[in-house]
Chain A
Amino acid sequence: MLQASGLTKEFKGFVAVNNVDLTVERGTIHALIGPNGAGKTTFFNLLTKFLQPTSGKIIYDGKDITSKSSADIARLGLVRSFQISAVFDDLTVLENVRIAMQRRRGDSYDFWRSEAVLGQYDDEARGYVESVGLGDFINHRAAELSYGRKRALEIATTLSLEPDMLLLDEPMAGMGQEDVERISALIKRISEGRTILMVEHNLSVVANLSDRITVLARGEVLAEGDYDTVSKSPEVIEAYIGAGHD
């Protein structure tokens, strides 16, 4: 589904992502883990062109997307979320989701039309909002939500685009145990017929959800395999202890 080859990003002499090859199989949940500063977010930024790769090539669904723009990549069905919660604070929960669904109209340049036309998405949007447990907050401004709920809203928004592939950057960071369980279940459910690449520090979540795991450290791939293989790899244990993590 997604294939990155030789992906590299240098920041003024510092190599944040170094010659990374990664293949994500269609229909799987693939986890990307690694100590802080390993380059996971940078790697996501490269895949979605929020950063321009220094070198390397990205193939998505058989198409070379290396030279496409971020917005066009999203339109191809490869949608990312952000490590820090990314909601539209001044919009309501419903409007947040609707903004994504509105994309189905094509481009919304029709400034002369009333926003009432967006009402057609309300019912479906409400479904997404309820699926992440935010039904009670549907008409609240996103700014009023707690951090965990903002993350849930972000996932609902992403899902409403019905993307073929999701890149989730620490979707559960900052959530309480209850939310983590709900969102895990949700990710499991939406992974039907979708491909997911996800960065996550919570190893029990990773163990539970992912079909395959890639470990990144100092910008390089350290190990790859299923949970048992990876967790027993001496390099991985070394890297995590070396970085003072867990």
Chain B
Amino acid sequence: MSTNENTNTATPAMNRSVGMPGHMKIIFVVLLAVLIALPFMVYPVFAMKVMCFALFACAFNLLLGFGGLLSFGHAAYFGMASYVCAHAAKVWGLTPELAILAGTVTAALLGLLIGSLAIRRQGIYFAMVTLAFAQMVYFFALQAEFTGGEDGIQTVPRNDLLGLFPMGDDIVFYFFVLFVTFGGILFIYRITHSPFGQVLKAIRENEPRAISLGYHVNRYKLTVFVLSATFAGLAGATKSQVFHLASLTDVHWSMSGEVVLMTLLGGMGTVLGPIVGAVIVVTMQNYLAYLGAWVTVIQGCIFVIGVLMFREGIIGVLSKIFKKPL
């Protein structure tokens, strides 16, 4: 690597860090264009499902890839938000945006509660604590009155957006979901490229050093935990409006596992990895659904092969090839 190709030469070089790098802008614009065309090419409900999971995986990646914290209990935030949103829409008659907000806020509070207890633990103990709490949330969902036990909350209505616009048509609702999920993903991108995100990266890279520079690392970890839970909740709440349903599947530990799978397969710590991982996993589940329980086995195999072949995930490998963060 030659040293004279540095950008610290003539130009006041540092405008390089202003805003999003050019190639990311192009990728996001292309992605948006594809997403606008998507509901006219595939089933809108399927497209919405993919987008909800993409947001879920991005939220999870915020914690794992940028915070360096592996949670095994993200279904708790996804699922509880899904229940609360469904309840709010069905029983309280809230409009979609308010019902989703209610679910998201619930996830944030749950994240604050569980996070403040979990971040004191390191590594595998952290993962175990998050899993333990997620199991408690699962049993709560199983036993509580309002969640409907085994049945879940069914036939959840999609009320008029802002009380004005009917959302019954899936294509129409799709564009609302596009706004929410794409907006969420962009916001997560911003978080990882903020002054806060810089400190987060530093903590992930070398925690004692970050402490020795005067950072209260636990407060940063808690903040990113709550943010991650919040966006996971946004994804779960939106999903329950998409499917008119909130069920135990959403809070089950296998949901926590699935989001780990998506993120690692796509490439943790990358911007696009979780999105790609979500697309692959959801598509696979959809088109292989007729194979029943075998889907899980196939998923497991793909995961093992994927992780063995490219440890950085699909996007991680591509980003190495193109020598650009993706």
Contact = CB atoms under 8 A, between A and B. Distances in A.
Interface stretch (B11-19, B236-244, B257-265): B11-19
Interface stretch (B108-116, B214-222, B245-253): B214-222
A156 B223 CA distance: 29
Contacts of B209: 82, 86-88
26 contacts: A71-B217, A74-B213, A79-B212, A81-B212, A87-B209, A88-B202, A88-B205, A90-B204, A98-B198, A99-B210, A102-B199, A103-B213, A103-B215, A111-B223, A114-B19, A114-B190, A115-B194, A115-B195, A116-B17, A119-B15, A126-B8, A136-B3, A136-B6, A139-B8, A139-B13, A144-B1
Given A86-B209, A119-B17, 10 more contacts: A81-B212, A88-B209, A98-B198, A99-B199, A107-B219, A109-B219, A110-B195, A116-B19, A119-B18, A139-B6
Interface of B: 1, 3-4, 6-8, 13-15, 17-19, 187, 190-191, 193-199, 201-202, 204-206, 208-217, 219-220, 223, 227
Interface string A81-107: 110001111110001001110110101
Nearest to A103: B214
Contact of A113 (B195, B208, B216, B223): B195
Contact of B18 (A116, A135, A157): A116
A99 B6 contact: no
Contacts of A95: 198
B198 A71 contact: no
B225 to A, nearest CB: 12
A91 B202 contact: yes
Interface of A: 48, 50, 69-72, 74-75, 79-82, 86-91, 95, 98-100, 102-103, 105, 107-119, 122, 126, 135-140, 144, 157, 161
Contacts of B198: 91, 95, 98-99, 102, 108, 115, 118
Contacts of A139: 6-8, 13
B195 A102 contact: yes
Given A114-B19, A115-B194, A74 B211 contact: yes
B13, B15, B195, B220 interface centre (most CB from chain A within 10 Å): B195
Contacts of A90: 201, 204-205
B6 A108 contact: no
A72 B219 CA distance: 13
B212 A82 contact: yes
Nearest to B187: A112
B206 A112 contact: no
A104 to B, nearest CB: 10
B212 A48 contact: yes
A156 to B, nearest CB: 12
Contacts of B214: 71-72, 74-75, 79, 103, 161
Nearest 6 pairs of A and B residues by beta carbon: A74-B214, A111-B196, A108-B195, A86-B209, A88-B205, A136-B3
A72 B199 CA distance: 16
Contact of B223 (A79, A89, A98, A109): A109
B212 A109 contact: no
Nearest to B15: A119
Given A48-B212, A70-B212, A112 B190 contact: yes
Contact of A88 (B8, B201, B220): B201
Contacts of B6: 136-140
Contacts of A82: 208-209, 212
A172 B14 CA distance: 31
A111 B227 contact: yes
Contact of B202 (A70, A99, A111): A99
Nearest to A95: B198
A102 B227 CA distance: 21
A105 B205 CA distance: 21
Contact of B194 (A48, A81, A112): A112
Contacts of B13: 139
A107 B219 CA distance: 10
Nearest to A76: B214
Contacts of A119: 14-15, 17-18
Nearest to A50: B208
Contact of A109 (B190, B196, B211): B196
B213 A122 contact: no
A108 B199 contact: yes
A21 B210 CA distance: 28
B185 to A, nearest CB: 15
B211 A117 contact: no
Contacts of B195: 102, 105, 108, 110, 113, 115, 117-118
